[in-house]
Amino acid sequence: MIDIIQILKLESLESLGIDLKLNFEIIFSQLYRDEKLRDVREKIEKRIYEYFDKIEMISSPTIYDHLLLSLRKKDVVATFNWDPLLVQASWKNRNFDLPNLLFLHGNVGVGYCKDHFQTGLKGFSCTCGKKFEPTPLLYPITEKEYYLDGFLRSQWKTLQNYIKSAFWITIFGYSAPKYDTGAIDLMKLAWGQAKERKMEQIEIIDIKNEEELRETWNSFIYSHHWEIHNDFFDSWMANHPRRTGEAYYNQYLNAKFIDNHPIPRNLSFKELREWFKPLIDVERKKE
């Protein structure tokens, strides 16, 4: 978002009195509030959608693939990203049991049926036979109205249900910008008071320093029940894939110290899927 003015070639906004040095969320909010600039805003919205819609994932495995394969059907990945990379990774690995996906600001890779409240890949059809409509993108206004649109409302309601019952939450690269206090408030509402979550664990994957991250996420953290990693492959998820919660529980609550079982890096898709297969086979036998 820092470079989006240059990426989308929106420098002409300066002629409208817009300060291009501002955060894009502030710029867009200015356009949103000024009804005379509605046409300008709609053109920018269309350009944003078209830009993200063209993004394609490379053919070799990425962290997106590792992330999805490290989680199970009981888990969820909730993203604020508009790009379709997570959707594409999910499709590539569709023969494996993967986590649920939630799109908190909409996504160019998914569609929605308003009549039956179903979500699926854009271009596919609902069970009623109608093609899924593109989901709305929640463009960067400072006061986001999460509950006005049916699709976004369903995504946030589902996330809140997951948060209420979660033992483990990993926050991966989400900065919790001050321009989006509504999102944090919705998550806090579901999480409750940190003192009521004495056993739960918060894991943060981010390159920021500890002091800054603690300040941002303090209301979610109880005592020492949190840790920071600046690399995905150092996280519990990557070192105990598909068994993250169980590994932590055994080691720190049952005092059964265990070795890491890290995802090997630089494997081909075939090798990666073969490595994960024994873990998934055990899960399916227990169902």
Where along the chain do its domains lie?
4-53, 63-286
What percent of the chain clears pLDDT 70, i.e. is strictly above it? 97
Neighbours of 132 (CB within 10 A): 19
Task: Write the single-letter amino acid at 134.
Answer: P
Task: Write the single-letter amino acid at 250.
Answer: N
What digits encode the pLDDT tens for the residues 261-287?
A: 999 999 999 999 999 999 999 999 987
State residue 179's pLDDT score. Answer: 67
CB 122 within 8 A of CB 110: yes
In the chain the first and final C-alpha atoms are separated, in Å, by 43
Residue 227 pLDDT grade (very low, low, confident, very high; cuts 50, 70, 90):
very high
* Separation in Å, CA 269 to CA 72, 100, 177, 241: 18, 21, 35, 16
What digits encode the pLDDT tens for the residues 40-91?
A: 989 989 999 999 999 999 999 999 999 999 999 999 999 999 999 999 999 9
pTM recorded for the entire structure: 0.92
- Residue pointed to by tokens 């990203």: 81
